[in-house]
Structure 1
Amino acid sequence: MEFIGPAIILGTIFFGTVSIIKAFSEHFLRKKMIDNNALDEKTINALKLDNNPHTALKWGMVAFFGGIGLILLEFIPHAYDSPLPFGVEAVMISLGFLVYYFMVKKQSKLV
């Protein structure tokens, strides 16, 4: 368990670097497409940042259930080197994704 701190830091640096490079490359691609007048309806739809209106709901549900998993770990006794916390957290995050999926599926049936 002593390696988790450096692993989190390395993962954060990697994810941050990839996100910055992706944002710059998408910006320059969009700028180049606009400058070259390559704008038809299909291209305009491709330039939109997010076509899914439920993105905030998805990540809210995942964060909510992830938090519930961390709260549960306070009350479940486990050994220091046990894989139980990872399993509980993975199950709770997966449950968050499933709840999100069924909420969106139910809402799309209503519309």
Structure 2
Amino acid sequence: MNDFFEGLIPIMGILATFGIPGVIIIWYIYTKHREKMRLIESGLSPEEVKAYFSESEKKPKNPYTTLKWGILFLFFGIGIILANVVHTVYDLDEGFAFGVVLICGGLGLLVYYSIVQKKLKDQDKISESKVNLS
């Protein structure tokens, strides 16, 4: 009987790995469809429903997203290296290493914020000078 349950472990793992995301995707599609149907039933035309969903799903693109992820991963890498060095030299706990990695990630986000703020201020100055010239 015990061998039976041990044989089920990999099967359940595979089913859970692929089944749970599949259920989430199907549920998302189902709720979107149900929302569209309710909007059509309330009197909106299909074209208006399509326009409603296309406007609500568009988000303004952040031109600095790649910069954010690059700086974040750079600082995470620095944190991992620093944590390994400190762990090797001082033989500290693994929890300390985890904290160093998170602190370096936070520092990376702060560096990203300061860079973006500087760039936005520079863009504002440029746009103000263009307005003053015209």
User: Which band: TM-score by shorter chain?
Assistant: 0.5 to 0.7
- Partner of residue 84 from structure 1, selected from 96, 101, 112: 96
Distance 1:70 1:55, change over 3 A: same
The RMSD of aligned alpha carbons is 3.5
Shift of 1:81: 3.6
Tell me what 1:57 maps to: 67
Q: Determine what percentage of the aligned residue pairs are the same residue.
A: 33
Q: Letter of the 2:97 partner, please give it.
A: P
Shift of 1:49: 5.4
* More helix per residue: 2
Tell me what 1:70 maps to: 80
Give the structure-2-normalised TM-score. 0.51
- Partner of residue 110 from structure 1, selected from 122, 126, 129: 122
Q: Which has the higher contact order (CA 8 A, sep 6+)?
A: 1
SS of residue in 2 equivalent to 1:53:
coil
Number of positions where the alignment pairs a residue of Structure 1 with one of Structure 2: 91
Give the structure-1-normalised TM-score. 0.60
Decide whether the 8 Å contact of 1:58 with 1:100 is kept in 2: yes
Q: Letter of the 2:70 partner, please give it.
A: G
Decide whether the 8 Å contact of 2:79 with 2:100 is kept in 1: yes
Q: Distance in 1 between matches of 2:68 and 2:21?
A: 24
5+ residue gaps, structure 1: 1-12
Q: Distance in 1 between matches of 2:72 and 2:92?
A: 25
CA offset digits 1:34-55 (Å, max 9, x no partner): x922326xx6453225621211
Decide whether the 8 Å contact of 1:69 with 1:89 is kept in 2: yes
